[in-house]
Amino acid sequence: MNFEFSDEQNQLRDQAQSFLNDNCPPSKVRAILEGDEPYDKQLWQSIAELGWLSTVIPENHGGLGLSYYELVVIAEELGRVLAPIPFSSSVYLASEAILQFGSDAQKQKWLPRFATGEAIGTFAFGEGAGRPSPASLTTSASGDTITGTKYPVPDGDIADVAIVVTSCDSGDGASLYLADLGEVQRDGVSTLDPSRSHARLTFDSTQAELLGSAGNGWGMTNQLLDRAAVLFAWEQVGGSQAALEQAKAYAMERYAFGRPIAGFQAIKHKLANVYVKNTLARSNCYYGAWALDENNAELALAAATARVSATQSFYFASKENIQTHGGMGFTWEFDCQFFYRRAKLLSVNIGSESWWQDRLITAYEQSNQADAA
């Protein structure tokens, strides 16, 4: 039994944590949240230089060729500091899509540019309110052009290229297209978490290139979502842990009735319950990381399990962090809001808790476990 990170991976965690403590303090998150800049360009440049963007990209495409364990370590640390950069869009979604489904030419064209941060990629999936399905897609493809509106697209305002989910008359009802966003109309979309930017992309007979084969887009989308779910879950667990630490630190310092509020059982039990949810989520994320790295048949179930429990733990940790701070937690001046905003953004960005609960049971039904039970 070896269900732990290696010494080298833990060393990477320490380095990442120390780098981010210096280079991504809460004031940086606040600057993006309050300002006009869509993301922290300096931080983006620095992490590109550290090679984080290229962690799992093979060496022949300009990457480091490391495992997904290294990538989840970085994801957790970026989640902990709520990094205001397009890491998830470019790494978990765009790079992953091209790595998994791209042709050699597509890989050669895009992966080296994603690896250096020279290009930013994203995934254009949603088309407004409601749970997407192949039948709900209105963005369509004709030959090598696509037409339709996608929103909200994370980092759609700054990305160079997007993987776009379109409808398709054949196969599973959808296709994936790679579209250069240079000429595409982009309008900013405001969300509850302005530390991460979003846009509405309007494609109007825009030149685009098929990714994978036509009519396989829904299957590929779901595979991509499973992979991204594990990576996002690690971000969520990092955020949960940081919110717990913030709540505890405040409770130890804040006095009421002549003593630290951390001594009151109402606060102790609240934070112990946060710890319990975080621990269960973290352990589920371990399993998700294993299934992702092995790329085995367990992935769909492991990803949904990690996603559901990490979504729940981050929401719970972030809301109870505000309550632990009392009135101060509700002020703009305090940083508690950052976790609360990010927790909700991450709980809907690749599908809601209830969608993933449903995916979990479906994955269970399709796994060997259901037969064995």
By CB under 8 A, name the binding residues for other proteins: 1-5, 69, 248, 251-252, 259-260, 262-265, 267-269, 271-273, 275-276, 279-281, 283-284, 286-287, 289-290, 293, 304-305, 308-309, 312, 354, 356-358, 360-361, 364, 369-370, 373
Counted residue by residue, the chain has a size of 373
- What's the closest the beta carbon of residue 68 comes to other proteins, in angstroms? 10
**Residue closer to other proteins, measured from CB, 42 or 296:** 296
- What's the closest the beta carbon of residue 270 comes to other proteins, in angstroms? 9
- What's the closest the beta carbon of residue 229 comes to other proteins, in angstroms? 13
Question: How many Cβ atoms are within 10 Å of 263's Cβ, its own excluded?
Answer: 14
- What's the closest the beta carbon of residue 331 comes to other proteins, in angstroms? 24
**Residue closer to other proteins, measured from CB, 41 or 269:** 269
**Residue closer to other proteins, measured from CB, 209 or 358:** 358
Question: How many Cβ atoms are within 10 Å of 53's Cβ, its own excluded?
Answer: 28
- If residue 276 lies in a helix (H) or strand (E), which one and from where to where? helix 265-294
**Residue closer to other proteins, measured from CB, 157 or 298:** 298
H helix intervals, 62-213:
68-80, 87, 96-101, 104-116
- What's the closest the beta carbon of residue 324 comes to other proteins, in angstroms? 11
Strand 185-189 to 198-207 pairing = antiparallel
Q: Which residues of 59-86 are buried (b: 16+ CB within 10 A; e: fewer)?
A: eebbbbebbbbbbbbbbbbbbbbbbbbb
The helix/strand/coil state of 260 is strand
**Residue closer to other proteins, measured from CB, 217 or 351:** 351
- What's the closest the beta carbon of residue 289 comes to other proteins, in angstroms? 7
Asked if 310 and 238 touch (Cβ cutoff 8 Å), the reply is no
Asked if 66 and 89 touch (Cβ cutoff 8 Å), the reply is no
**Residue closer to other proteins, measured from CB, 192 or 370:** 370
